[in-house]
Structure 1
Amino acid sequence: MPSLVHHPLDPSSRLVRLMCAEYGVPLDLEEIKPWLREPDFLEVNPAATLPILFTELEQPGVGVLSAVHMVEDLYTPEAVSGLVPPDAGARAEMWRLVEWIIVKLNDEVTRYLIDEKIAKRDQRGATPDPAVLRAAKSNLVEHMLYFNWLLATRAWLAGDTMTLADFALAAHLSSLDYMGDVDWSKAVETRDWYSRMKSRPAFRTLLNDRVVAMPPSPGYADLDF
């Protein structure tokens, strides 16, 4: 059985978990806190980033792109299409949006909120910086406007079919929603799309995630929110 080194609120780890669940691949999960930079973890990934996917291959999938490609290469079911479109144009649009999410959205929003709200709890005397939280939430508003526009004109994020881009965005928004940072009242199109994503069986394990001493926001696990 493949195993995944992850943190419950790390969106890149959530993306890999969603992909495996969608493809019916069971995972053993090993939870760590990457910001603690433990030696065994750094030995496998000196960049101190998650996830790390171990499979039957000798080489693990280290980091989100490596792990995503490993899942797609090894576990795409033969009976159904995978999350990467066969058409080159559709594939290009999907990767454009995946990059937007795992790079731009993460660098401008998600990683700051996780650092301030989660990682700082392991730093003695550290408290969240209100200025950083305000900036991240302000950036999130701009991102949500863009996602709203996309989803008002398309059935799915990258076009007419569900792709890896939908799973990448759902992974990030699920982490942000857990922490209570998404104002769904100002994101109707994205909320409707996210409700469809949350209703997929692949989402069930994520909606059961809990972080010690930090319960999820109201409505986090509700399909009708």
Structure 2
Amino acid sequence: MSAERTLHHFPLDPASRQVRLALGEKRLPFGEVQVRYWERPKAFAELNPSGMTPVLVEGAGEARLVLCESRAILDWLEEAHPEPALLGREAAERAEARRLIQWFDRKFEYEAGGFLLHEKMEKRLLGLGAPELANLRRGREGLRSHLGYAESLLQGREWLAGRRLSLADFAAAAHLSVVDYFGDVPWADFPAAKTWYMKLKSRPAFRPLLNDRWPGLAPAGHYDDLDF
């Protein structure tokens, strides 16, 4: 644990997971504060007026730096701690990585992950009743479409954005891993995507995510299995 670097996050939040993966890959130690953001805690709102995770706090006292929202945090980490580079060494690689980050943070969230996580996670946390089957169906259809797109990319690439591991892989894995927590990813139908995900699960940076548990939200049986 680091007293000089603290991540305020919710373990099953894809945005928080992207930052955790980047910190782990860059081997930057950090302390953790788990936030029940839906309860709108006052102390957390003072750090980030939007009330959303993640927030990274660097340093203390007058030197304290408060970084809010995953995109700003990840960009700062790349600038402040450039090795290993997680946006690519070449301009074209960086552009492709940024495109795919946007793809998963916006398009995947809107068409797949948002439906599934709202129905399976947020409703239970907020006490909003049973999942709506129509929304689950829309989310699963969107999920298959996005897995098909990832499959097509991985047919000719080592990693999603090209030859090197990048923040694009972490963005995709962060979103898919939370859906996988609830057992909704049909990995068997997408072998290239499954192999890619197995490689990511085996990285040291990913292992803390496999230990995540939240009261009342048990993971699927295969969630932490490296050879699923």
> Normalising TM by the smaller chain, what interval?
over 0.9
- Structure 1 distance, partners of 2:36, 2:112, is 19
In structure 1, how many angstroms separate the alpha carbons of the residues matched to 2:38 and 2:111? 18
Q: 1: CA distance between counterparts of 2:219 and 2:105?
A: 22
TM-fit CA distance, 1:211: 1.3
Corresponding residue for 1:65? 71
Q: Does 1:192 align with 2:198?
A: no
Shift of 1:187: 1.2
- Could you tell me which runs of 5 or more consecutive residues in structure 2 were left unpaired when the two chains were aligned: none
Percent identity among equivalent residues?
Answer: 39
The 10-residue stretch of structure 1 (26-35 or 173-182) with the greater mean CA deviation from structure 2: 26-35
Distance 2:207 2:127 in 1: 34
CA displacement, residues 72-92 of structure 1 (integer Å, 9 cap, x when unaligned): 222333xxx311113111111
Match of 2:220 in 1: 217
Alpha-carbon shift at residue 39 of structure 1 (Å): 3.0
Per-residue Cα deviation, 1:46-76 (whole angstroms, up to 9, x for no partner): 3232211111253311111111112222233
Q: What is the CA distance between 1:44 and its match in structure 2?
A: 2.7
- Relative to 1, partners in 2 of residues 1:125 and 1:106: Cα closer, same or farther, differing over 3 Å? closer
Matches within 5 A, 1:197-212: 197-212=200-215
Moved over 6 A (4+): none
1:86 aligned counterpart, secondary structure:
coil
> Relative to structure 1, is the Cα distance of residues 41 and 108 closer, same or farther in structure 2, using a 3 angstrom cutoff?
farther
Determine the structure 2 residue equivalent to 1:76. Answer: 82
Aligned partner letter, 2:8: V
C-alpha distance in structure 1 between counterparts of 2:126 and 2:212, whole Å = 23
- What is the identity, as a one-letter code, of the residue corresponding to 1:176? V
| Distance verdict in 2 for CA 1:125–1:202, change over 3 Å | closer
Structure 1 residues 219, 124: CA separation in 2 closer, same or farther (over 3 Å shift)? Answer: closer
In 2, the alpha carbon distance for the partners of 1:125 and 1:196 equals 37
Unmatched tracts of structure 1, length 5 or more:
none
- Partner Cα separation in structure 2 for residue 58 and residue 83 of structure 1: 25
Q: Residue deviations 1:7-59, cap 9 Å, x none? A: 11101101110111111111211111222223333333232322111112533
Specify the alignment match of 1:42 in structure 2: 45
CA distance in 2, matches of 1:125, 1:114: 13
Q: CA deviation at 1:114?
A: 2.1
Instruction: Report the Cα distance in structure 2 between the residues aligned to 1:141 and 1:66, rounded to whole angstroms.
Output: 30
Whole-angstrom CA distance in 2 between matches of 1:192 and 1:45: 37
Counterpart code for 1:39: K
CA contact (8 A) 2:115 2:138 kept: no
Number of aligned residue pairs: 222
Aligned-partner SS, 1:217? coil
TM-score, normalised via structure 2 length: 0.91
Which of 24, 28, 41 is 1:25 aligned to?
28
Deviations 1:101-129 (A, max 9, x none): 11111222223322222222233452222
**2:80 is aligned with what amino acid?**
L
Question: Which residue of structure 1 lines up, in the alignment, with residue 99 of structure 2?
Answer: 96
SS in 1 for 2:155: helix
Distance 1:16 1:198 in 2: 16
